[in-house]
A and B are shown apart, each in its own frame.
Chain A
Amino acid sequence: MSNKRLLGWKSIPLGGSIVEPGNSVQRPTGDWRVFKPIINQDKCVRCLLCWIYCPEPSIYIIDRPYKTSTGREWKFSVEVDYNFCKGCGICVEECPVKAIDFVEEVR
């Protein structure tokens, strides 16, 4: 399941070392999903629990202000990175205000 070109022995580091830290971001795992979590920004109270518990992590705190339909203003938002979300549903289960919907993904 390798997206990298198959390089020869002269071009790879010695002994199986990987010199680019965190380069697994080049290997998206979003296609593992069956169900997709969708955060309802209106209901979300920015408690950050989903961000804490996500095992990937594929939930990020982003610098995007949001004004809810009831006029509440948030300075940041929490969003799912669908490139990596495996659809485990932990965020859905742990959200204290049930702001995350879990819908079957149709591809």
Chain B
Amino acid sequence: MSSRIVYYKSVFDVSKEELLAPGHGLCGGCTAGTIARLLLKVAGPNTIIVNPTGCLEVSTTTFPYTSWRVPYIHVAFENAAAVASGIEAAIKVLQRKNVIDPNKRINIIAIGGDGGTADIGFQALSGMLERGHKVMYVLYDNEAYMNTGIQRSGTTPLLAWTTTTPVGKVLKGKIQIKKPIAEIVAAHKVPYVATANPAHFLDMMNKFRRGLEVEGPSFIHVIQPCTTGWRFDPRIGIKLARLATETAMWINWELDHGEFRVTVTVPKRKHVKHYIRAQGRFNHLTDDDIEIIQKYVDKEVERINKLVGKEVIGPVVE
């Protein structure tokens, strides 16, 4: 296994340029703001952002104000990948025809939520991946249709409360498991797929950079704790993201040209109850429910360790 080139080694490697302006309407403590901001620091000003309808879009682009300091387009909910494909093709041909400076490297990034990516946007995403456009797709996953008021999505985890999977006498939360969207993208055999966590921001930014480097489509699936939808005090947004990785409910991996690595190892794991009990959307879970989830996580950890060939995620110690 070749070693990866790590560009961001400390916080001092991070660009000071702010390409996302404050004054947007994201909820106070919305980690999507953190993710978008850090993404733009990696991408730089030569970037075109394609954003489907969602929390990020409506909060940052309400006429006459915009928070974006790079060219940005919103078209519809389900077509960010298709729009990005069109932009990529246009830039390619316009550079070939010398209308745009052919030496200029322009990043094309589609950043969308779980609804616009894994559900309604899935077809366009799959098409873009299959066609091999040089576009990086960043999925900020807050695990529900948050913009329209916390309805369940394909990436809502098992047993989570949402307004369409409410907790009642007969049904208690979502009955399906979380759609493994990053693995589905990986099955398209694209050059680079990764999962990331804003709490591990250096790892996340290295992955953004790698995604922008590869010749072909790349996909970065980022967990985005949502204070409004997951029901927690906004101040623990990043702490909760960190807990997700510490309990192995969120594993940070990358698949780089067929090589699989876990990039944030967890030698001593925490019990999932630390993560689950911190969120109001799991209030109704009994200790038995939590054990079911723990067993599921244990199986996943075993599978990942086997894939890597060594124990990158250790046993539960607290």
**Interface residues, chain A, CB within 8 Å of chain B?**
2, 4, 12, 16, 18, 20-29, 32-33, 47-49, 52-58, 61, 81, 83-84, 86-90, 92-94, 102
Number of A-B pairs whose CB atoms are under 8 Å? 118
Chain B residues, Cβ within 8 Å of A84: 22-23
Contacting pair B30 A23 (CB below 8 A) = no
B178 CB within 8 Å of chain A: no
- Residue of B21, B30, B38, B238 touching A24 (CB-CB under 8 A): B21
A61–B66 Cα gap in the complex (Å)? Answer: 23
| Stretch from B184-192, B211-219, B228-236, B293-301 that touches the partner | B228-236
Contacting pair A55 B30 (CB below 8 A) = yes
Given A18-B66, A28-B23, A87 and B28 contact (CB-CB distance below 8 Å): yes
Chain A residues, Cβ within 8 Å of B233: 89
| Stretch from B10-18, B121-129, B265-273 that touches the partner | B10-18
- Residue of A21, A52, A55 touching B201 (CB-CB under 8 A): A52
Chain B residues, Cβ within 8 Å of A16: 63
Q: Mark B242-253, 1 if CB is under 8 A from A, else 0.
A: 000000000000
User: Interface size of B by Cβ–Cβ distance < 8 Å?
Assistant: 42
Contacting pair B28 A32 (CB below 8 A) = yes
- Residue of B16, B31, B65 touching A61 (CB-CB under 8 A): B16
In the complex, what's the smallest C-beta–C-beta distance from A9 to chain B, in angstroms? Answer: 13
Given A20-B66, A90-B235, A55 and B33 contact (CB-CB distance below 8 Å): yes
Contacting pair B66 A55 (CB below 8 A) = no
- Residue of B14, B66, B236 touching A23 (CB-CB under 8 A): B66
Chain A residues, Cβ within 8 Å of B14: 48, 52
Chain B residues, Cβ within 8 Å of A48: 11-12, 14
| Stretch from B67-75, B103-111, B112-120 that touches the partner | B67-75
